[in-house]
Copies of this chain bind each other. A is one copy, B any other.
Amino acid sequence: MRYSKQREAIWNYLKERIDHPTADQIYENVRKTQPNISLGTVYRNLMQLRDIGRLRTVEVGDGLIHFDPNPSMHDHFICTECGRVDDIEVSDPEKIKQEASNRFPGRIDGYSAYFYGTCEECMTHKRMRASTNL
């Protein structure tokens, strides 16, 4: 794989992110420093980076592909109010994988869990709306 400033910009943007952006969000942001970059290039690079294990793609239930700069096994929380995606550490992924391997006929290579609910911020908003009758 050769160097390209587009790929560098994409990675530089994504690696700082904890909100698991979509291709389009990444595109819109990378455009600020690389105005001529195209959405196709963004997709191609993201998929390439996934294939070499630098990042992970995540399907959270909204039909869009989200990109996570952390490729290791870990869980996610999705707020059903605002759609934000957070990393969440609930239990030891290796242990769960082991446990599943023992009970399942076949080989288990990895796993990922998704928790759905309302994030702290949205909980506050809901309380505020309730208390002011809005």
A binding-site residues for B, Cβ under 8 Å? 57, 59-61, 63, 65, 77, 79-80, 88-91, 96-97, 99-100, 103-120, 122-123
Contacts known (A90-B100, A99-B91); A79 close to B106, Cβ less than 8 A: yes
Kindly report which residue of chain B lies nearest to residue A89, judged by CB atoms: B103
A113 touching B116, Cβ below 8 Å = no
Output the least CB separation between A19 and chain B (Å): 15
B100 near A80 with CB under 8 A, answer no
**Nearest B residue (CB) for A101:** B117
Q: Is the CB of A109 within 8 A of B117?
A: yes
Taken together as a complex, chains A and B put the C-alpha atoms of A80 and B110 apart, in Å, by: 11
Q: Which residues of B contact A117 (CB under 8 A)?
A: 104, 106-110
Q: How far is the CA of A40 from the CA of B105 in the complex (A)?
A: 37
Instruction: List the B residue with the shortest CB-CB distance to A126.
Output: B107
Measured CB to CB, the closest approach of chain B to A93, in angstroms, equals 10
Bound-state CA distance A116–B119 (Å) is 27
Complex CA gap A111/B112 in Å reads 11
Task: Report yes or no: A108 in contact with B115, Cβ–Cβ below 8 A.
Answer: yes
Question: Is A113's CB under 8 angstroms from B114's CB?
Answer: yes
* Nearest-Cβ distance from residue A66 to partner chain B, whole angstroms: 11
